[in-house]
Chain A
């Protein structure tokens, strides 16, 4: 009775909107009270059936009325659209958003009557109708004839006239329909000869995609262009040109000729030497690589080889020969000086000259790198033999050399000249005898470079480089004590002592030691020019080298041609340790890594390495290092960081040797204690030794 949609339990009614309830009630009213009651009951009974997930609500809640407002807004349309407004150059909110939602579109096929297509179709239809009519006339005539016949027949048939007439009419209509086809060839579709098959594939839903880019960056540009602007611009341009011309003029008169020559040379040489100069850097690297490959085993030894036999040789070490450096040009010149470069630890400088008084020839300064043992990095030659050299600590490209003729010179490695940058001369106070040692000092107060030199003429001179000129200052004149003789007129003649070596104290700046040919060592101060602070009767023959201990501030060492090496404490007049090496000792050097290790080289070609901690009385290594015994070793130097020493001989060869582990022993740590490193430890080490010796001395 009631429509299915009305089967809504009372409780739910209140949640639905509007219409359905009314419809229900109306029906009830119409059908009468009886029915109403019945329906109510029925409804109630229906109401008893509740779905299990229905909300449970109280009566009050049930009676609540909810209003819903239906609007015509499209829920899918965006609520705030922002578009970039080019006129204002900002993003603007569009207030009115299109709410139209299209659910279904179909393209229809109605065309207006008055349009072109419409008129064409009408015309075609008329034509078709026209032909039909003509056909009709023909057919109708035929039919009339036909009709008469059947009518006659029909007259007989009687009641069946309708049907045959109808049938005839039908035929006629069919014929009508069929005949117009033939003249016009219009295929009219009917269910007897035409069948339509159609299918609809799934149309993918369409979706709009939009994207908006950032507007490209823009900038404004404005200016004025009129006569005076143009004029001003041109005047400015002319001025600029004039300025550049002036600058060129000031440069050209000086450099013009040189420039021309250079350009001419370049142009002529370019074709030939172009390639070589450009490839110089690469060629250098290749040369080093070739050397490394050739001396590959030596390089490996240098880096990694640790003498395994040292474990068995208690307290003895060896020197492993590594590279040999020599140069043809310096073949007959003795190595007179060796110095490691303080900055580039593989670079060292070698001074060549001659110790022979009679045969004096030229000198050479070569700088070798360990990376290229076959050829020196820098070559400088000089007229007089080089006797000593030193490299500046802060400016590792400045090398000062002292010559046999008493001159000193400074070479600048940065500049390509083969001539020294600065040279002393007879005018500027060169020494009158060979310069035996030179040492750089700290820059003086005016930031000028300065160095000291000592020579056989008894003068210790301080040279300062003032505005590209060497200025000398006599610091001390060495006097042989006790030899001042009085001449009648009251003048005092001093016999000048000849200085052969000196060394500056590491910490006490003004104090330095000078060794002389007489075998005495003087402790002097830079401030006192006539008096010595102390004198030590060191040796019987000329002192060849003096050297302060790098760690201990009181200890120094000296060696001499009287076959001895002596270690001193500068507060005590007698040496602490004396070593006799059976041959004239030409050079001695402390090791940079330990306060108790030093090396001495002798003229019989042997190198002696001592470690006072291990053995106070003997060398822990005595090894011949030069090929022929006739070669006398002249100098030795420790490398500041690598465990190697370089040894120069009087044939111009330099040999590089690696110290075996026993020679570089650090103090054994007691179990549990940390190994301490650093200068303090070294000093303490040496102190201990010295105390032992001093005690012995005091006892005796």
Chain B
């Protein structure tokens, strides 16, 4: 019983990580959707190199939406940023 539960949880856990999840965003809907797709593409392409994935995302965002984007990719970090808002 425990095992099956454990397996179920694992399966759930694996299922968990298949879809992109947004925690916080203040972008307009279209922009957000495009950005999500871009991030997914970049991370899949450079799955073992976060730096190049971040580079790709930043350059594409700068081209599409105007300059000065900052991209951080990682699995364990804290951050505090100041940004303009409208």
Interface residues of A (CB under 8 A from B): 216-227, 230-231, 233-235, 237-238
Contact partner of A222 (CB less than 8 A), chosen from B12, B76, B80, is B80
Contact partner of A217 (CB less than 8 A), chosen from B74, B80, B85, is B85
A214 → chain B, closest Cβ, in Å?
12
Beta-carbon contact of B76 and A227 below 8 Å: yes
Beta-carbon contact of B17 and A234 below 8 Å: yes
Beta-carbon contact of A234 and B21 below 8 Å: yes
Beta-carbon contact of B16 and A238 below 8 Å: yes
Residues of chain B lying within 8 A (CB to CB) of residue A223: 23-24, 78-79
- B1-34, CB < 8 A from A: 12-13, 16-17, 21, 23-24
Contact partner of B75 (CB less than 8 A), chosen from A226, A233, A237, is A226
- B43-86, CB < 8 A from A: 74-86
Residues of chain B lying within 8 A (CB to CB) of residue A230: 75
**Interface size class, chain B:** 20 to 34
A613–B8 Cα gap in the complex (Å)? Answer: 93
A220–B78 Cα gap in the complex (Å)? Answer: 13
B26 → chain A, closest Cβ, in Å?
9
Identify the 5 closest CB pairs spanning chains A and B, nearest first.
A222-B80, A226-B76, A234-B16, A224-B78, A216-B84
Q: What residue of chain A has the Cβ atom nearest to residue B73's Cβ?
A: A225
A275 → chain B, closest Cβ, in Å?
31
6 A-B pairs, CB-CB below 8 angstroms?
A216-B84, A217-B84, A223-B23, A225-B78, A237-B21, A238-B16
Q: What residue of chain B has the Cβ atom nearest to residue A216's Cβ?
A: B84
Beta-carbon contact of A219 and B23 below 8 Å: no
Beta-carbon contact of A226 and B77 below 8 Å: yes
Contact partner of A218 (CB less than 8 A), chosen from B17, B79, B80, B84, is B84
How many A-B Cβ pairs are below 8 Å?
56
Residues of chain A lying within 8 A (CB to CB) of residue B86: 217
Q: A218-B83, A223-B23 are in contact. Are A235 and B16 (CB under 8 A)?
A: yes
B11 → chain A, closest Cβ, in Å?
12
Interface residues of B (CB under 8 A from A): 12-13, 16-17, 21, 23-24, 74-86
Beta-carbon contact of A219 and B80 below 8 Å: no
A330–B23 Cα gap in the complex (Å)? Answer: 65
Residues of chain B lying within 8 A (CB to CB) of residue A221: 24, 80-83
Beta-carbon contact of B77 and A224 below 8 Å: yes
Residues of chain A lying within 8 A (CB to CB) of residue B80: 220-222
Q: With a 10 A CB-CB cut-off, give which of A218, A224, A231, A234 has the most chain B CB atoms.
A: A234
Residues of chain B lying within 8 A (CB to CB) of residue A235: 16
Beta-carbon contact of B76 and A219 below 8 Å: no
Beta-carbon contact of A233 and B84 below 8 Å: no
What would 10 more interface pairs be, CB under 8 Å, given A220-B82, A234-B21?
Answer: A218-B82, A219-B85, A220-B81, A220-B83, A221-B24, A225-B75, A226-B76, A226-B77, A231-B16, A234-B16
A219–B12 Cα gap in the complex (Å)? Answer: 37
A172 → chain B, closest Cβ, in Å?
74
B45 → chain A, closest Cβ, in Å?
20
Residues of chain A lying within 8 A (CB to CB) of residue B74: 225
Beta-carbon contact of A222 and B79 below 8 Å: yes
Residues of chain B lying within 8 A (CB to CB) of residue A217: 84-86
Residues of chain B lying within 8 A (CB to CB) of residue A238: 12, 16
Beta-carbon contact of A225 and B81 below 8 Å: no
Q: A233-B23, A234-B21 are in contact. Are A225 and B83 (CB under 8 A)?
A: no
B8 → chain A, closest Cβ, in Å?
13
A238–B79 Cα gap in the complex (Å)? Answer: 26
Beta-carbon contact of A227 and B75 below 8 Å: yes
Residues of chain A lying within 8 A (CB to CB) of residue B24: 221, 223
B2 → chain A, closest Cβ, in Å?
20
Q: What residue of chain A has the Cβ atom nearest to residue B85's Cβ?
A: A219
Residues of chain A lying within 8 A (CB to CB) of residue B17: 234
Q: A217-B86, A225-B74, A227-B75 are in contact. Are A233 and B81 (CB under 8 A)?
A: no
Beta-carbon contact of A233 and B21 below 8 Å: yes
Residues of chain B lying within 8 A (CB to CB) of residue A219: 82-85
